[in-house]
Amino acid sequence: MLERAHGQAGGLRGRVEGGEAWVRSHPVAVDAALFGPPALLLAALLASSGSPVQAAAALLQVGVLALRRTRPVLVAVVVDAVAALHLSTGAVLGGTGLLASPSDAAVLVALYSVAAHGPRWARYVGLLVALAGAVGLGVGTGLATGSVREALVVAAAVTTTAGVFALLAWTLGQWRRTRLAHVHALEDRARGVETEREQLQALAAAAERARIAREMHDVVAHSLSVVIAQADGGRYAAAADPAAAVRALESVAATGRAALTDMRRLLGVLREDGGSVLEPQPGVEDVPDLVASVRASGLPVALVTTGEARPLPAGAGLAVYRVVQEGLTNVLKHGGPSARATVRLHWSPGRLEVHVEDDGRGASAGPAADGVGRGLSGMAERMALYGGTAHAGPRTGGGFAVRAVLPLPGGAADRAATSPVTSPVTSPATSPLPAPVARPGQPVTAQVPASPPSGTPGPPRG
């Protein structure tokens, strides 16, 4: 019942708004319907009283008001001219010696219309003409009386009355003009706000699409790289070591389930019903688990942490995590079967430096590329959001390196120290991988030999 009432109210509101729009878009038809019947009635009455000329003048004087909004100056000229003709030759037109006709009331409507819709000069000219007509009407009426004293009194009374009515009509027209200007200004402002809102929505949608694309790339590329590496290893080890193949399949299943969970969490933000429960995004504290999962997939990787670790904001921590994830994913995709990697997190008072280095063979020696990578550019975009930088490039002597610097609160000096690096693709490391050191409070990680295979560095990967 309530829904039906709301529907009926909405339909009635729509019909009312549609009617208002039609009235505004058809002013001539509306004014013709408003002033046409009175003009015909007045003309018929005057014609029946034996004044055909005055009937024709009344029909013209009132009927022309149909154009009062589209041609206000023309209407004022016609109405005032007929009124002046009445004033000067009333005895001839009317046959009664009167200086005005009932149709002369159209002068007030014409004055209102020219004040509301006419140009600036016409508004003031129309007011002066109306006041002059009031004076003429008062003087003419006074001259038609007997004594001089009565003539003065009648002239003053008629002039004042007609002048007051003229001023009132002109003031109402000015108020109408001001109101129309205010309404038009509000409509323009509303259109501007609507356009700005649509632009902001488009920008927000584009930013959200870019964010989701980065997250999808990080989740899918890393997980699929691990799955492919485990599947290849299990296939080669199946004949010689069935247990290793089983472990590889278990790792593939675990990685796939984790990737599916991440995908569901990521796509949950697109749900409109709000029914999904979102889990926290990974941060810098989850880097050890990431390294452990990659190491379990068969890639020898060591984690080296120096300095005093500190909590990071959620967005900054996610950016660091994705940098490490992207670097290790590149090693899995392009490093080759004998590649080894080291992840370094160096905490200083003003910044956090992240290094992901490998001694692999480079992208040029690997299999065919699987598409134009977006990982490195997305990594740089992530770090730029928090005032940091990210660079990637081949290492001297072979392998690949990723270096990212994230300013920490209170580290303006350190942030300035990172600005001299201008090239988006550099060689962050110029020496072979050093042996990892023990992470404070945890067992020593796997050692990585310091003699990477030589070879020509490959192009940047992503």
DSSP notation for 39-96: HHHHHHHHHHTT-HHHHHHHHHHHHGGGGTTTSHHHHHHHHHHHHHHHHHHHHHHHSS
Q: Please tell me the predicted confidence (pLDDT) of residue 42.
A: 83
Closest to 399 in 3D by CA, of 436, 372, 431, 367: 431
**What's the mean pLDDT in 438-454?**
37
Residue 8, pLDDT > 70, answer no
Residue 363, pLDDT > 60, answer no
Flag the least confident range among 5-19, 63-77, 156-170.
Answer: 5-19
- The residues pairing with 345 across neighbouring beta strands, listed in sequence order, are 305, 354
Q: Please tell me the predicted confidence (pLDDT) of residue 266.
A: 63
- The residues pairing with 358 across neighbouring beta strands, listed in sequence order, are 341, 400
Which residue did the predictor score with more confidence, 65 or 246?
Answer: 65
Q: What's the whole-model pTM score?
A: 0.45
Flag the least confident range among 14-28, 219-233, 270-284.
Answer: 270-284
Closest to 357 in 3D by CA, of 425, 405, 403, 424: 403
Residue 255, pLDDT > 50, answer yes
Residue 319, pLDDT > 70, answer yes
**What's the mean pLDDT in 61-74?**
90
**What's the mean pLDDT in 235-240?**
67
Highest mean pLDDT among 30-34, 49-53, 256-260, 304-308: 304-308
**What's the mean pLDDT in 18-42?**
81
Q: Would you state the structure tokens that stand for residue 286, as one six-digit string? A: 């989850």
Q: Please tell me the predicted confidence (pLDDT) of residue 10.
A: 54
Which residue did the predictor score with more confidence, 182 or 13?
Answer: 182
Flag the least confident range among 87-91, 155-159, 162-166, 327-331.
Answer: 87-91
> Over the chain, what is the mean pLDDT?
75
Which residue did the predictor score with more confidence, 192 or 376?
Answer: 192
| Secondary structure letter of residue 367 according to DSSP | S
